[in-house]
Amino acid sequence: MPPVEPMLAKPAATIPPGMQYEAKWDGFRAVVFRDRDELEIGSRSGRPLTRYFPELVRALKEHLPERCVLDGEIVVARAGRLDFDALLERIHPAASRVRHLAEVTPAGFVAFDLLALGDASLMSTPQRERRHALEEALRDASDPVFTAPVTYELDVARGWFRQYEGAGLDGVIAKPPDLPYRPGERVMVKVKHERTADCVVAGMRLHKSGPVVGSLLLGLYDDSGRLQHVGVCGAFPMKRRQELMEELEPLRMPTAEGHPWEDWASAEAQATSRLPGGPSRWTGKKDLSWLPLRPERVCEVAYDHMQGDRFRHTARFRRWRPDREPHECAYAQLEEPVSYDLAEVLGG
């Protein structure tokens, strides 16, 4: 019964050997529950997605076994490649808009795991056997319900990593063949083309030109559950700065009271936590010009590497992630820096 947390992946720099390999799909992670005429689609965070994808509900009822639970990805394709922006537009409060988008940008479902079939739970069944059961269960399925391609050959997976990027895929997922399904645990491996992180947007700074967004203040939760300031993302076109100002206005707080970073002005708090407005390394002065936002929205940013517990440079805004919950944005998702011997640089 829903909700079920999907099994997660931890990042790696290279594709590990001896695994089951699949492409990493760029969509909304979803767990589908079907019991005859009843069908629910749950997001990664457990929120229902069913109402936003009526065309998928019809297709899944047509192509899935009568009683089953599937793990997979909701995707939208345009011009032969995945289009995440078009997928984002599908999350709309108006029923009429939902019906319209279902016709003009229909979604597909890519299944890559089978958690239950009939009366049997497959959660403790090894990955390889679940994969075989999934192929059997969906052998007659067709567009828009797909079974994710899989290989056990490392060279093939490396080829996918290079080739599939052109189709809008994120990289490669590697799964231990004997792995049982472990909800909410990072036990798979993901290798992506770019380092990205899902961050909480908890504040903003105004642009020097006037009352528009200059940069967004980003946060990640540490092991103690405290939201730490990890950097900013900026470099928006002026039109986008104005749009962001309007989008974020409902989250504006009159003061920092009650905000996770309400102690930013305290030198003691600055010494023990990552907070905005701390002393500049160049001038020694405090930057007072940040505006607190209720930490309720999540965005995905791209970054090059970490310096300690924060982004070394300004991160690059990629997209909003309405399918993510703020509490999911933790340091655990970050990639470990790729090791490189400085002596090789200096020696060269």
Q: Which residues are catalytic?
A: 24
Cβ distance 83 to 23 under 8 Å? no
List the structure tokens of 42.
């749950």
Alpha-carbon distance of 297 to 244, in angstroms, equals: 12
Residues 25, 97: Cα–Cα separation, whole Å: 25
Within 8 A by CB and 6+ apart from 236, the residues are 213, 244, 317
Rounded CA gap, 61 and 68, in Å? 11
What backbone torsions phi and psi does residue 154 show, to the nearest 5 degrees? -60, -40
End-to-end CA distance of the chain: 59
Report helix, strand or coil for 146. strand
Say if strands 145-147 and 108-117 run parallel, antiparallel, or are unpaired: parallel
| b/e 20-59 (16+ beta carbons within 10 angstroms → b) | bbbbbbbbbbbbbbbeeeebbbbbbbeeebbebbbbbbeb
E strands, the chain, in order: 8-11, 20-24, 28-35, 38-43, 67-75, 77-78, 81-82, 108-117, 120-121, 145-147, 171-175, 186-192, 196-207, 210-221, 227-234, 290-302, 306-307, 310-311, 315-320
Q: Name the CA dihedral angle for 306, 312, 317, 322, rounded to a multiple of 10 degrees.
A: 40
Whether the CB-CB separation of 348 and 340 falls below 8 Å is answered with: no
Distances (CA, A) of 160 to 22, 154, 176, 340: 9, 10, 18, 26
